[in-house]
Amino acid sequence: MAEPVHVEVVRSGLQTTIQDGGRPGYLSRGIPPAGPQDYRSFALASVLVGNPLPPPPLTPGDPGLAGLEMLATGPTLKFDGPAVIALTGGHVDATLDREPVPTWTAVAVEAGATLRVGKVGPGMRAYLAVAGGIDVLPYLGSRATYVRGGQGGLEGRALRKGDRLPIGPASDAVAPGRSVAEAARRRLDERPWTVRVVPGPQDHLFTERGLETFFTAEWQLSPTSDRMGFRFLGPALELRERPEYLVRDAGSGPADIVDDIIPIGGIQVPGGIEPIAMGVENPTAGGYAKIGTVISTDLGVLGQIRPMDPVRFEAVTVDEAQQTARDELAAIAEAP
């Protein structure tokens, strides 16, 4: 068998991680799914290069093939053999041997070429898919990197200069030049960003005023945000008085509850200030009231907001959120 094509990491970028569809099924062990924070962008990159459509967050099944999630500043990569790639997600002005590379398009890479991804923006996370996928050893069925837990990907960590990544065999469906229609791409120009939220599970612990403040205020993403949690700066949210037994059982803080499950997208509000929306590396349980849950399709929006960008939260019903998720999957399937 021929030696696989390798990609050498010449520059690592700020935080470049190997991701596939993720590692669902281990929430009861405290293990979050990981995978791409912006599923839509990652999935579109994958199908552009002829890789299988990865499953959306928390959906069981084959996680598909692995690509890269690139935070803020992307890597420089040298290919020792031919490949087909696609760049999606946050905008990048990438070059291939100093020639501009179109984004949202399948691009052929010649043996020996160097891809320089550079700065990401607008948006915060760019995605790179390679036909055949990055073929590192799966951990618990997935190649996704859980950065904070040190699992998956390459040694459970972000890529470093000098890493060599083997590329798997490409499918016959590879077709350089194919691209994603404008309408199906991740929108990056909206200000304030809109993040849709299903209220609950503890919206009842907030006052009417607290809820209204949450859904009307203009928030800003705090710089202390990552794939575990996205923290928002803005007004304090008023909580209801708690009965004495909750003070005894859960603690004296106004948002303290007896620990329960935190879903991905769950928005904790410790002490009633600085809501934290959980990302794809969420802590799976915790003891602060959650005012709502970011819907699964908008986990990707979270992943594209830059620190201090303005953000609004919009309330939607579960039915609307589930319909949105189904519509998005259909749109991704027919995009390229």
Tell me which of 17, 145, 293, 304 binds other proteins, using CB under 8 A.
293
Residue of 265, 324, 249 whose CA lies nearest to 257: 249
Q: Do residues 18 and 66 touch, judged by C-beta distance below 8 A?
A: yes
> What residues between 54 and 83 interact with other proteins by CB under 8 A?
57-60
Handedness of CA 243, 244, 250, 255 (dihedral sign): positive
Site string for other proteins, 179-208 (x = CB under 8 A): -------------------xxxxx------
Q: How far is CA 12 from the centre of its chain?
A: 19
Q: Which residues pair with 125 in a beta bridge?
A: 71
Tell me which of 9, 294, 311, 335 binds other proteins, using CB under 8 A.
294
Q: Which is nearer to other proteins, 191 or 326 (CB)?
A: 326
Tell me which of 1, 99, 100, 252 binds other proteins, using CB under 8 A.
252
Placement of tokens 């320089």 in the chain: 116
CA distance 39 to 20: 10
Interacting span for other proteins (CB under 8 A) from 73-81, 94-102, 186-194, 251-259? 251-259
Closest approach of other proteins to the CB of residue 139, in Å: 8
SS3 content of the chain, % helix, strand, coil (to 5): 20, 30, 50
Is 26 one of the binding residues for other proteins (CB under 8 A)? yes
Is 331 one of the binding residues for other proteins (CB under 8 A)? no
For the chain, first and last CA: distance in Å? Answer: 32
- Tell me the residue type at 3: E
Tell me which of 85, 257, 276, 302 binds other proteins, using CB under 8 A.
257
Is 251 one of the binding residues for other proteins (CB under 8 A)? yes
Q: Which residues pair with 334 in a beta bridge?
A: none
Closest approach of other proteins to the CB of residue 61, in Å: 9
CA distance 213 to 23: 35
Interacting span for other proteins (CB under 8 A) from 64-72, 157-165, 302-310, 316-324? 316-324
CA distance 228 to 146: 9
Interface residues with other proteins (CB under 8 A) are: 24-31, 57-60, 140, 148-151, 198-202, 243, 245-246, 248-252, 257-261, 263-266, 283-287, 293-296, 318-319, 321-322, 324-326, 329
